[in-house]
């Protein structure tokens, strides 16, 4: 995989390292996520999956290394460049991360209002309604996030990430703690996005999601990227640990992956 | 939703607009109080020194602020030009012959320039003209020729001068009493007065006149005695003859002390007169504490007056304006100071 | 470093191993770098504030809410303090000053104390303790709930959207509260003192407005602007210093108030000095 193969519109992570409290969360991670493809990140709990995803999305900068998209360093950009750049990226949080002091409707409308100050109220309404059409969300519009269950919040967060119709969508366990019907719909929406050519990068331990969507697999163990490549290549890996991770996910779709911390986070003890 | 949150824009709007309204009102109030919008009439004055004169110094007229100093500068010929303005509401009072006086308060607070109006109403003098100070030759001339109204000033000097009034009135009263007393005494001395002293003096006069007749009698008697004595000396004269048991002297002396008794009566009368004179002297002496008190009061009044004048003299404004006064020894003396 | 990462001050890496000197040195380095970070944060706020005037963004409601919480809801306590303070000055002044024959100094004292000194600083203390802590807590909780990350992910600059409205809101509230403080302290207190030591209305207001200068008013307002900037910057800065745990939130709130007070007093001294120079 030379640099020339992947030119523009790729998320490119360059030797990113992140140390927190003497603990290396991410160790010299370099990866280029192919454009228009779906990459599913896997790994045991605490392996640095979420960190890698957030760094790739430019939510915070690594201690060393960097991330570029479309040739621009995301975390080093600022002002209008940054706004336009980030408008093209969407992120669905594992724990929802909805804005607590706003209603569900405002949570969905704010990105539109911010990036398109001149957009008519009716158009905002229309876009939101189109987005949520297949989800039971509309009745929650006047409520605040605290009134929703963890799963419901996750759906809203997922929808919020899509409201700006991003070129790259990051998602962190979008289907865990979500009822089966909604999980189905989420996967369906992701499939639609994939058909449209959206680059999808996400963490999931759902066998169904992986099976239906994944083009590439990335396995991270203890902060190090141990495997990255097309699904078929990675599945045939000789690396034992990677094999274990894959087996757990792919062999047992019904049980939780044991990522206890992530599960706790997802349950939102504050609600 | 809470009322406040539902109507957040309205609530915040009222909050801001009321505050801005107040700010506006405050600025307007400051402005009107400090006369931003009023026209000022500019004049200037020449001082010998800028000491005590500063920019912003208020100019007052009968206790009202009518203007303010705007600039103080030293000219080429070492004069101190003080520019000031008079507010439009007072500008029509700037009559001809008006003066400016620098008043400094001994406490250092509340001093300022005092405006004195000219004596006779006239059209306001043109803007930009000179209003002389009261200490300038021009100003002094105006004061001397009484062309300026110098009102009672409301400052310490005035208070001092106010104190002089009652003191002077006291002095006056005492002087009047003294005058009456002295007139009485003078009248008495001339014998034209009335009252107890006069009576006494009259009595004394009468006594003295009586004493005089007595003395005249006594003189004749002593003349006679002298003649008799002379005759005694002459052995051949009448005395020996008189001494002759059959002589006349014997007869004379042998008159059952009639002559002796007469002389004794004369001497007694003289003694009484002298006693009466002594009584009069004692009476006058007894009256002297009252007189003394009156004189003493006069003296005190004069010394308070002197203090006031001392205060005036120490006032920087009037320094040197009142001549030095030497302490004079009192000319009134008590009777008791005299040794009898 | 990008403007969108206010939540990452330099990582603390004080280990257990190094000796005292090393730890002290590291501590100083950390503190200095925090100060520089804070300065950069403040400059970023100013930049985004200016930018926010250029483009009309959707932060106006946040601004209105901030003024509601910081200004409107602090009005009562401000009014009580101002009236009390003003009344005390008037009562004491009218009983003490005539003994020196200097009753007109009452107005100078009122203006010096209420307009120039205590008005701005007391409103700043009220705002710092009410809204400073509230802002720190709110932002701290937002960081913990990943709401700040959500703003970043949505392309919404947290400084532009979260900090600038609070910055402006606190400044506006501070200025307006200071105005109300003056109104209550100078005018309201007059009404209260009518019950105790009546002062003639016309006399009082003529004396007051005769002694009050525009410089006094300006100095007071400038102080309020500076104090508002300090309180909001310190509060938002500490809010973003929260990293993960909700236990950090109250700690940062306390720090926010403490550092806010120190900076306020320092700034007050500097401005007063400048005023008299």
Give the strand order in the sheet containing A64-69.
Answer: A23-33, A11-20, A64-69, A72-73
Q: Which residue has the higher pLDDT, B91 or A169?
A: A169
Domain CATH code at residue A250: 3.40.50.300
pLDDT tens digits along B276-297? 777 877 776 676 666 667 677 7
Of C68, C176, C209, the CB nearest to B4: C68
Which residues sit opposite B150 in a β-bridge? none
Judge whether residue B258 has pLDDT over 80.
no
Q: Would you call C102 an interface residue with chain B, using a CB distance cutoff of 8 Å?
A: yes
DSSP-assigned beta bridge partners for residue A33: A11
Q: What is residue A5's predicted lDDT score, i.e. its pLDDT?
A: 44
Residue C180 near residue C58 (C-beta atoms within 8 A): no
The C-alpha atoms of residue B84 and residue B96 are separated, in whole angstroms, by 17
Chosen for mutation from B4, B9, B15, B56 (greatest number of chain C CBs closer than 10 Å) is: B15
Rg (CA), chain A: 18
Please report, rounded to a whole number, the percentage of residues in chain C having pLDDT higher than 90: 40
CA distance linking residue B98 with residue B82, whole number of Å? 16
What ipTM does the predicted assembly reach? 0.84
For residues A37 and A168, give the distance between their C-alpha atoms in angstroms, rounded to a whole number.
10
CB-based contact C155 A91, cutoff 8 Å: no
Going by pLDDT thresholds of 50, 70 and 90, the confidence category of residue B327 is: low
In angstroms, rounded to a whole number, what is the distance separating the alpha carbons of residues A248 and A258? 9
Q: Which residues of A touch C145 (CB under 8 A)?
A: 95, 97, 100, 270
C102-140 pLDDT, tens per residue?
777 888 888 888 988 899 999 999 999 999 999 999 999
Instruction: Enumerate residue ranges in chain A where pLDDT < 50.
Output: 1-6, 253-271
Query: Average of pLDDT values for B305-318?
Result: 68
Q: Count CA within 13 A, CB hemisphere, residue C168.
A: 21
Contacts of C13 in chain A (CB under 8 A): 22
Q: Which two tokens stand for residue C113?
A: 């104390």
Q: Are strands B64-74 and B58-61 parallel, antiparallel or unpaired?
A: antiparallel
Mean pLDDT of chain C: 85
Q: What CA–CA distance (Å, rounded) separates C94 from C198? A: 9
Q: Point out the residue among C72, C180, C214 whose CB comes nearest to the CB of B30.
A: C214
C150 and A78: CB-CB below 8 Å? Answer: no
- SS3 per-residue string spanning A183-233: HHHHHHHHHHHHHHCCEEEEECCCHHHHHHHCCEEEEEECCEEEEEEEHHH
- pLDDT for B312: 64
HSE value, Cβ hemisphere, 13 Å, CA-based, for A185: 17
Structure token pair of residue A195: 């058909």
**Domain locations in chain B as residue ranges:** 40-152, 159-337
The answer to whether the CB atoms of B27 and C214 lie below 8 A apart is yes
Q: Which residue of B has its CA nearest to C213?
A: B30
Minimum distance, in Å, between the CA of residue C142 and any CA atom of chain A? 8
Q: C242: helix, coil or strand?
A: coil
pLDDT of residue C74: 92
What was the pLDDT predicted at A127? 92
pLDDT of residue C7: 43
Classify residue A133: in a domain, yes or no: no
Question: What count of residues does chain C have?
Answer: 277
Q: Tell me whether residues C176 and B16 touch, CB distance under 8 A.
A: yes
C151 burial via Cβ count (<10 Å: 0-12, 13-18, 19+): buried
Q: Which residues are CB-neighbours of A14 under 8 A, at least 6 positions away?
A: A30, A65, A66, A67, A68
pLDDT digits (tens, 9 = 90+) for B24-79: 988 888 887 776 777 788 888 888 888 778 887 888 888 788 888 888 888 888 88
pLDDT score recorded for residue A267: 41
A99 and C150: CB-CB below 8 Å?
yes
Enclosing domain of residue A209: 11-96+169-266
- Average pLDDT of every residue of chain B: 74
Q: Are the Cβ atoms of A270 and C145 closer than 8 angstroms? A: yes
**Tokens 């104190």 belong to which residue?**
B163
CA dihedral B23→B28→B31→B33, nearest 10 degrees, is -110
Q: For position A253, what pLDDT does the model report?
A: 42
The pair of three-digit structure tokens given for residue C12, joined into one six-digit string: 């603390």
Question: Quick one: pLDDT at residue B234?
Answer: 62
Q: Which of A109-113, B267-271, C21-25 has the highest mean pLDDT?
A: A109-113
> Which pLDDT score, from 0 to 100, does residue A269 have?
40
Cα–Cα distance for residue pair A270/A267, rounded to 1 Å: 9
Question: Could you tell me which of B218, B183, B220, B188 has the C-alpha nearest to residue B205?
Answer: B188
Neighbors of chain A with 3 or more C-beta pairs under 8 Å: C
- Residue B191 pLDDT > 80: no
Euclidean distance between CA atoms A171 and A92, whole angstroms: 5
Query: Could you state, in order of their start, the residue ranges of all structural domains in chain C?
Result: 59-276
Q: State whether A59 and C152 contact (CB < 8 Å).
A: yes
Model pLDDT for residues C174-202, shown as the tens digit of each residue: 999 999 999 999 888 888 778 876 778 88
Residue A233: its pLDDT value, please?
A: 84
Nearest to C58 among A20, A114, A161 (CB): A114
* Nearest alpha-carbon partner for A152 in A185, A126, A128: A185
Residue A3 lies in a domain: no
pLDDT confidence of residue B202: 74
Give residue B313's pLDDT.
Answer: 62
**For residues B190 and B48, which has the higher predicted lDDT (pLDDT)?**
B48
Backbone angles phi, psi at A48, to 5 degrees: 105, 15
pLDDT at residue B151 is higher than 70: no
Spell out which residues of chain C touch residue B12, defining contact as CB-CB under 8 Å: 64, 67-68, 71-72
SS3 B112: strand
Q: Which residue has better confidence, B250 or B219?
A: B219
Whether the Cβ atoms of residue C83 and residue B23 lie closer than 8 Å to each other? no
pLDDT at B49 (0 to 100): 81
Task: Check residue C174 and give its pLDDT.
Answer: 94
Mutation target for B interface from C66, C68, C115: give the one with most B CBs within 10 A.
Answer: C68
Q: Which among B4, B22, B29 has CB closest to C209?
A: B29
C-alpha–C-alpha distance, residues A218 and A249, integer Å: 13
Q: Please indicate if any CB of chain B lies within 8 Å of the CB of C39.
A: no
Q: What are phi and psi of C87, to 5 degrees?
A: -65, -40
What does the pLDDT read at residue C134?
93
Task: Answer for the pair A99, A68: CB distance below 8 angstroms, yes or no.
Answer: no
């Amino acid at each position: 995989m030379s640099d020339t193969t992947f030119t523009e519109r790729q998320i490119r992570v360059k030797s990113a390292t992140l140390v927190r409290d003497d603990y290396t969360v991410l160790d010299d991670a370099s990866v280029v996520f192919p454009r228009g493809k779906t990459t599913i990140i896997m790994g045991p709990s605490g392996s640095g999956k979420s960190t890698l995803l957030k760094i790739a999305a430019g939510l915070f900068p690594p201690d060393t290394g960097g991330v570029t998209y479309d040739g621009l360093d995301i975390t080093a950009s600022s002002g209008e460049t940054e706004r336009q750049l980030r408008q093209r990226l969407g992120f669905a949080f594992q724990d929802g991360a909805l804005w607590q002091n706003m209603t569900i409707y405002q949570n969905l409308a704010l990105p539109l209002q911010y990036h398109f100050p001149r957009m008519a109220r009716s158009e905002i309404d229309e876009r939101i309604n189109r987005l949520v059409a297949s989800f039971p969300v509309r009745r929650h519009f006047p409520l605040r996030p605290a009134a929703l269950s963890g799963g419901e919040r996750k759906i809203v967060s997922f929808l919020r990430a899509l409201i700006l119709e991003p070129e790259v969508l990051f998602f962190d366990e979008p289907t865990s703690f979500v009822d089966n019907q909604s999980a189905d719909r989420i996967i369906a929406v992701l499939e639609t996005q994939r058909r449209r050519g959206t680059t999808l990068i996400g963490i999931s331990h759902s066998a169904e999601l992986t099976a239906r969507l994944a083009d590439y697999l990335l396995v991270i163990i203890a902060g190090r990227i141990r495997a990255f490549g097309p699904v078929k290549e990675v599945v045939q890996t000789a690396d034992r640990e990677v094999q274990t991770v894959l087996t757990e996910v792919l062999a047992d779709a019904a049980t939780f992956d044991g990522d206890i911390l992530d599960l706790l986070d997802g349950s939102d003890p504050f609600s | 939703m809470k009322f406040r949150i539902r109507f957040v824009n309205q609530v915040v709007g009222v909050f801001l607009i009321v505050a801005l309204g107040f700010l506006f009102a405050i600025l307007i109030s400051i402005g009107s109080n400090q006369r931003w919008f009023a026209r000022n009439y500019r004049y200037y004055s020449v001082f010998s020194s800028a000491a005590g004169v500063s920019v912003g110094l208020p100019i007052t007229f009968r206790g009202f602020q009518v203007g303010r100093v705007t600039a103080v500068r030293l000219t080429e010929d070492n004069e101190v030009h003080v520019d000031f303005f008079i507010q439009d509401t007072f500008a029509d009072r700037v009559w001809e012959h008006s003066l400016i006086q620098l008043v400094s308060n001994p406490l250092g607070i509340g001093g300022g320039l005092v405006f004195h109006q000219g004596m006779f109403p006239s059209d306001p003098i043109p803007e930009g003209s000179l209003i002389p100070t009261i200490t300038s030759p021009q100003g002094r001339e105006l004061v001397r020729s009484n062309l300026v109204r110098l009102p009672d000033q409301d400052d310490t000097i005035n208070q001092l001068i106010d104190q002089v009034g009652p003191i002077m009135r006291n002095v006056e009263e005492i002087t009047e009493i003294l005058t009456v007393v002295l007139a009485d005494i003078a009248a008495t001395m001339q014998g034209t007065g009335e009252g107890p002293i006069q009576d006494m003096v009259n009595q004394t006069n009468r006594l003295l006149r009586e004493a005089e007749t007595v003395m005249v009698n006594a003189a004749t008697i002593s003349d006679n005695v002298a003649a008799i004595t002379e005759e005694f000396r002459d052995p051949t004269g009448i005395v020996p003859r008189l001494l002759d048991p059959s002589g006349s002297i014997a007869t004379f002396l042998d008159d059952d002390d009639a002559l002796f008794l007469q002389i004794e009566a004369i001497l007694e009368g003289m003694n009484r007169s002298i006693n009466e004179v002594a009584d009069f002297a004692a009476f006058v002496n007894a009256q002297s504490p009252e007189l003394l008190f009156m004189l003493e009061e006069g003296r005190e009044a004069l010394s308070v007056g002197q203090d006031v004048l001392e205060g005036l003299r120490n006032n920087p404004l009037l320094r040197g304006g009142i001549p030095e006064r030497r302490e004079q020894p009192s000319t009134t003396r008590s009777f008791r100071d005299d040794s009898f | 470093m990008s403007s969108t990462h206010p939540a990452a001050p330099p990582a603390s890496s004080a280990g257990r191993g190094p000796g005292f000197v090393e730890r002290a040195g590291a501590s100083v380095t950390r503190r200095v770098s925090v100060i520089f970070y804070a300065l950069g944060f403040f400059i970023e706020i100013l930049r985004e504030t200016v930018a926010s005037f250029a483009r009309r963004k959707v932060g106006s409601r946040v601004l209105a809410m901030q003024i509601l919480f910081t200004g409107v809801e602090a009005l009562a306590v401000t009014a009580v303090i101002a009236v009390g303070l003003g009344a005390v000055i008037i009562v004491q002044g009218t009983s003490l000053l005539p003994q020196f024959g200097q009753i007109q100094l009452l107005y100078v004292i009122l203006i010096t104390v209420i307009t120039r000194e205590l008005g701005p600083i007391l409103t700043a203390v009220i705002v710092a303790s009410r809204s400073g802590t509230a802002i720190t807590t709110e932002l701290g909780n937002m960081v913990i709930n990943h709401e700040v990350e959500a703003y970043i992910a949505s392309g919404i600059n947290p400084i532009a959207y979260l900090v600038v409205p609070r910055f402006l809101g606190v400044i506006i509230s501070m200025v307006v509260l200071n105005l109300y403080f003056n109104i209550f302290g100078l005018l309201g207190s007059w009404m209260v003192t009518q019950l105790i030591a009546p002062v003639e209305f016309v006399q009082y207001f003529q004396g007051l407005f005769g002694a009050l200068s525009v410089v006094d008013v300006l100095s007071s307002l400038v102080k309020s602007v500076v104090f508002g900037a300090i309180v909001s910057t310190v509060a938002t800065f500490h809010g973003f210093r929260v990293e993960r745990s909700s236990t950090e939130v109250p700690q940062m709130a306390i720090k926010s108030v403490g550092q806010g007070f120190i900076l306020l007093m320092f700034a007050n001294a500097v401005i007063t000095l400048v005023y008299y120079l």
